[in-house]
Amino acid sequence: MQSLDLSIVTPYSEMLAMGLWWTLIMFVTSSVVSLLAGIAFALIVLYAPKVVALPVRFMTWLLMGTPLLLQLYVIYYGLVQVGIDIPAPVAGIIGLSLHFAVYNADVIRAGVVSVDPGQIEGARSIGLSRGQTQCYVIVPQALRRTLAPLGNNLIVLLKDTSLVSMIGIAELVYSAQLAVSETYSPFEFYLTVAVIYYAANLVLEAGLHLLEKKVEMSR
């Protein structure tokens, strides 16, 4: 029986560090895009004409009802068959961003609906346009109220970046798989990757908790 030997990981630390770098790129970029797109989708569903809102509702239904991995396959492997060749990193960002944008949109929509209508009337009475009311009154309050569930979505997104390894992006899990293929020591590398993910989650949770406290203090 072979014993656990974590020293075998050391020669591959640079490879794992590069994988972590790609994981962070996927996470940060997808987080920003999914949040901005989520705000846009929520406002479209709430206020846009039906001819504009219905496609967004359909996309939401479709993305929520299918696995993220399948969506990544369709974007990267499927679209190339109709002449749309998207590089793997871009496909990964698009897939992650769209998948989590619809969940963020659902959370933000609920937050917008929860804003007191009296505040909207008050904003309009002092001369703010509809767009200004959305930007300065409704959206900030909705984001404040939905900070916790949006943070949970970010945590899930961080972990789901591992799925982009299936379309050839050399993120953390993919890098570990390459190391395993050379050393035939899966437990050491997968255990190391698990610890890295856990540490990243702890840092993210601490940052979100700090942000929530600052938002509460600013109210």
Q: What b-and-e string marks burial along 178-214, b requiring 16 or more CB atoms within 10 Å of the CB?
A: bbbeeeebeebbeebbeebbeebeeebeeebeeeeee
Q: Which amino acid is at 66?
A: T
Q: Is residue 50 part of a domain?
A: yes
Q: Is residue 1 part of a domain?
A: no
Q: Is residue 85 part of a domain?
A: yes
Between CA 104 and CA 139 the distance in angstroms is 13
For residue 184, the number of C-alpha atoms closer than 13 Å in the C-beta half-sphere is 1
Query: What CATH number has the domain bearing residue 203?
Result: 1.10.3720.10
State the residue range of the domain holding 131: 6-218
CA distances from 28 to 25, 108, 200 (A): 5, 19, 12
pLDDT at position 145, please? 83
Q: Is residue 31 part of a domain?
A: yes
The tens digit of pLDDT for each residue in 55-102 reads 999 999 999 999 999 999 999 999 999 999 999 999 999 999 999 999
The tens digit of pLDDT for each residue in 151-192 reads 999 999 999 999 999 999 989 999 999 999 998 889 999 999
Number of domains in the chain: 1
Q: Is residue 188 part of a domain?
A: yes
pLDDT at position 219, please? 60
